[in-house]
Chains A and B, each alone.
Chain A
Amino acid sequence: MKIKTQMTMVLNLDKCLGCHTCSIPCKNVWTSRTGAEYMWLNNVETKPGIGYPKNWEDQGIYKGGWTAKNGKLSPAAGGRLQKLSRIFNNPDLPQIDAYYEPWDYDYGSLVTSPVKKHQPAIQPRSQITGQSMKIQWGPNWEDDLAGVCETGTADTNFSGLDAQQYLEFEQAFMFYLPRLCEHCINPACVASCPSGALYKRDEDGIVLVDQARCRGWRYCVSGCPYKKVYFNWKTGTSEKCIFCYPRTESGMTTLCSASCVGRIRYVGVILYDAERISRAASPADPKDIYPALVDMMLDPNDPKVIDEAEKQGISQGVLKAAQNSPTDKLMRKWPLALPLHPEYRTLPMVWYVPPLSPLQTGTENENPDEVLADMRIPIKYLANLLAAGDEAPVRRSLKYLMALRAYMRSLRLEKTPDKSILDQTGLDEKLDEAAILEIYDLLAIAKHKDRFVIPTAPAPDQADMRMTQGEKGFE
């Protein structure tokens, strides 16, 4: 057993209201610079939709992530020789238009305009060329399904479903999907980098681009299946989400999660067994990846794990944070959260609690399976998004959420706690009342101290800081 620590985030999609408040502080602090205008290290997409950059989930276009043949993993875009032989022109690179051409406005001309009959108007102006331009895409272009009647059929999550049917007005459904770097355990961007500039921090699993070693070969951009490594067109190097490590190292949470007004984000550490990485990433059937991923996580309250962690030098602070980690509970213990597109085989570490959705018709139905069939969001769609097409884990999560609601309703409104809900069939593990109340506290009340449990990092060696400038992701 080789125990490693991983910083993780869980987002409760059931509560996301799509306000983009997470994106704004991230943008203001990290990417408000020339060359980075188009980068949204955190963005919120409306699903269904093809997202930002366009069609990022379609690995037939960008060849991101890994493929497994006979239990052997290799990058989907090709191996080492193939990459180097095409290094002059990465064939899978998206062009900036797939994100959007950054623009601003000549606000000054509003002030200096001579007196006219009509109010002066200004054209969008490209921040690359300075010429006037047409705005054609953006980080939330399909906000609240805008234009999805045209783009929606290209959404790969409709696989196995009749997309056209769900794009009709009466059948339409939507939910929000806030996205950031997944800080994967088996990161394809790191594997794609010819220079070895991208790396995973050993102590907390945060994936960073060493700016002093990045030579701008651009393979990380296409290699990341989530399209969360961005090429700075001005400086010629790649940049990505740094999980706000200057904040997390001092015990504060990331900007996106701190600012979340819906309180949907949970940040904490998990412990996992590094010896099980390749087994988790390489099953022949992608549906087996999620269970293997859960199996890889270690119970921080298990005396054997504690013993071994202490032997391997994991600090008491980290261990304590793992024991109280809200993400460990939501990913492993209960388990409500699911990984985003596990079939990419990168073992992502930002997980999502699937959204319950309004019922299509009024129902008095008590059978949870039939209730699920009545939900506006097709289970298959969520399964394609969060479980490599396997409906079982999605059904389980949603049933837990429904049982939680029903039980709390009986407790709070009817004042007669209905224990039979807890014994409902279909739940893997029966929940006791204490567990239900704990989940309720975490998901519904969601106090700051419960959502964010982050161990502090030892103070860095001051003498080293100038010499290591740039190594940790930004200049």
Chain B
Amino acid sequence: MSGFIHILGFIVFPYIALTIFVLGHAWRYITDWKRWNAASSQFLHKDSLKGGITIFHWGALLTLLGHAGGMLIPQRIYDVFGVNAAAHNFMAHWAGLVAGLLMVPGVIWLLVRRVRQDRIAANTSVHDYVLLGMLLIVSGLGLYNVIFTHYDVLYSVAPWIRSIVVLAPNPALMAPVPVSYKLHILSAFLLLAYSPFTRLVHIWSAPVTYLYRSYVIFRKSPGAKGA
């Protein structure tokens, strides 16, 4: 890959994607609050959803946690806690395999259901298909990398991502990385940029407050006086 395209792919594009990601969410939250939800289709067809949606979500949660833990936290911190690079790679490999084997069949399941169930198909937007297609590409490439390409990302991709996060991008770290990893990363950034315009926004409304709030909620109308 020539130098210019490399810089375009691993400095310019990630920042454009992250900008769209942040501003896109703000724009969506302000202008389209009515549709800021999971857009569940369970109500229209229940039985066909259960297996697929469950493995997909647990796979996706494991994937998010794994990437956050493995990429954003430097290896030297793991070393402090006695997890050396080999052990880290071993864990990442098996966790990634489990996550990928849950998520990829999950996405395929949901995609097939969306096409084949008449009610769901009739209530599906282009965004839904594009989103599922992108999820399939990103997670499929991830699973491919786990199974077939045993490349050590701890001193290449991981520090590059941290360099992006701390606004000191170092694209040189990405130079020796295999193409399948590059494609996984680029498609993932594309997915990030696209996510504010899809049902993925419901991730940000994960209802953690439910764990500690009181069951029944009383609310006063603005302007109402007394009881």
Contacts and interface: CB of A to CB of B under 8 A. Distances in A.
Nearest to A195: B207
Given A200-B219, A236-B35, A470-B34, A81 B211 contact: yes
A195 B205 contact: yes
A128 B45 CA distance: 12
B222 A461 contact: yes
A135 B217 CA distance: 39
A414 interface: no
A222 to B, nearest CB: 11
A280 to B, nearest CB: 13
Instruction: From A83, A95, A216, A468, name the one whose CB has the most chain B CB atoms within 10 angstroms.
Output: A216
Interface stretch (A44-52, A141-149, A307-315, A428-436): A307-315
Contact of B221 (A95, A201, A221): A201
A236 B39 contact: yes
Contact-residue bracket for chain B: 35 or more
Interface string B35-46: 111111111111
Given A84-B211, A186-B216, A196-B213, A202 B122 contact: no
Interface stretch (B8-16, B48-56, B157-165): B48-56
B2 to A, nearest CB: 44
Contact of B34 (A191, A200, A475): A475
A313 B226 CA distance: 5
A181 B43 CA distance: 20
Contacts of A96: 43-44
A202 B227 contact: yes
Interface of B is mostly: loop
A215 interface: yes
Contact of A233 (B34, B118, B123, B209): B123
A129 B45 CA distance: 13
A318 B219 contact: no
A236 B227 contact: no
Contacts of A314: 226-227
Contacts of B37: 214-216, 235-237
B71 to A, nearest CB: 25
A89 B118 CA distance: 20
Contacts of B123: 128, 233-234
A93 interface: yes
Contact of B209 (A4, A87, A196, A231): A196
Contact of A203 (B39, B210, B213, B227): B227
Instruction: From A202, A214, A312, name the one whose CB has the most chain B CB atoms within 10 angstroms.
Output: A202
B216 A200 contact: yes
A309 to B, nearest CB: 8
A89 B53 contact: yes
Given A95-B46, A203-B221, A215-B36, A88 B207 contact: no
A459 B38 contact: no
Given A89-B54, A191-B215, A216-B40, A83 B210 contact: yes
Nearest to B41: A233
B67 interface: no
Contacts of A186: 216
Contacts of A399: none
Interface in A81-115: 81, 83-84, 87-91, 93-96
A235 B43 contact: no
Contacts of A421: none
7 contacts: A89-B53, A195-B205, A200-B216, A200-B217, A231-B40, A458-B223, A475-B34
Interface of B: 33-46, 49-50, 53-54, 56-57, 118-119, 121-123, 202, 205, 207, 209-211, 213, 215-227
Given A91-B50, A236-B40, 19 more contacts: A80-B211, A88-B53, A94-B43, A96-B43, A128-B119, A129-B121, A196-B213, A200-B217, A201-B218, A201-B221, A202-B218, A202-B227, A215-B37, A215-B207, A217-B40, A218-B43, A236-B35, A458-B223, A458-B225
Interface of A: 3-5, 75, 80-81, 83-84, 87-91, 93-96, 126, 128-131, 186-187, 190-191, 193-196, 198-203, 211-212, 214-218, 221, 231, 233-237, 312-315, 318, 457-461, 464, 468, 470, 472, 475
